[in-house]
Amino acid sequence: MAEAPNTPPPEASHRRAIRSFVVRAGRMTPGQRQALERLWPRYGLDLPDGAIDLDQAFGRQAPRTLEIGFGMGDALLALAAAHPERDFIGVEVYPPGIGSFLLRVEQAGLSNVRVICADAVEVLARHLPAASLDRLLVLFPDPWPKKRHHKRRLVNAPFLDLAARVLRSGGQLQIATDWADYAAAIGELLPACAAFTPAGSAPDEAGRPQTKYERRGQRLGHAIAEFVCRRR
């Protein structure tokens, strides 16, 4: 049996001094651990030295969507179930959540989902072929609300360059946040990135399910900011 992932790959920790996440020492339930160990060989993607062969990983050629930090996996699961003709990849760093998600994927009988346990920046930079994605979702990333922690935020100019590398021409980048200052920063970054053409913001027509963090933000009275742009 293949060994389930425990932490992001070691190269992620020494290549970037500042990361957009902290690996918390959360307790994994027996059910999560069993699901991770049993289902990882079927749905998990171990990272090679170079780029992943996505056609081999899915056993076909198809349009592909990647979600960074899928959390509970509500959006990713719903999209994969609604679009069996498309392939979906989730990148997450918390093994307990991955274990729960893989169990839900199995219960739904889905074959078009794969999961990576790693730092998303490293995945975009080193492990995805160029122009291999049709859609990249960044839904409610950690806002790192304290000003001294803003440097940890995922969406910045270098991240947009990596997103442009992995998206095909015309591919869609979709970012959503419920933190006003993060939205303001993203709103300044996107027009300055020559690789993307902004397609506006349409939280009601963005073609994706709601997420847990989105619903929480709405309960707190936060406005949802959604950015949709396309690769030039």
Question: Would you say 207 and 69 are in contact if contact means Cβ atoms under 8 Å apart?
Answer: no
- The residue type of 77 is L
Contacts of residue 38, defined as CB under 8 A and 6 or more positions apart, other chains included, come to: 1
The helix/strand/coil state of 116 is: strand
Q: Mark the binding-site residues for substrate, compressed into ranges.
A: 146, 178, 211-214
Give residue 4's region: left, alpha or beta (phi > 0; psi -120 to 50).
Answer: beta
Give residue 89's Cα distance to chain centre: 8
Q: Mark the binding-site residues, compressed into ranges.
A: 67, 92, 119, 142, 146, 178, 211-214
Question: Would you say 196 and 173 are in contact if contact means Cβ atoms under 8 Å apart?
Answer: yes
CA distance 217 to 178: 6
Question: Would you say 207 and 75 are in contact if contact means Cβ atoms under 8 Å apart?
Answer: no
Verify whether residue 74 is a known catalytic residue. no
CA distance 113 to 195: 28
Q: Angle at CA 80, nearest 5°, toward 44 and 142? A: 70
Q: Mark the binding-site residues for S-adenosyl-L-methionine, compressed into ranges.
A: 67, 92, 119, 142
Which of 142, 161, 181, 204 does the annotation list as catalytic? 142
Active-site residues, by number, are: 142
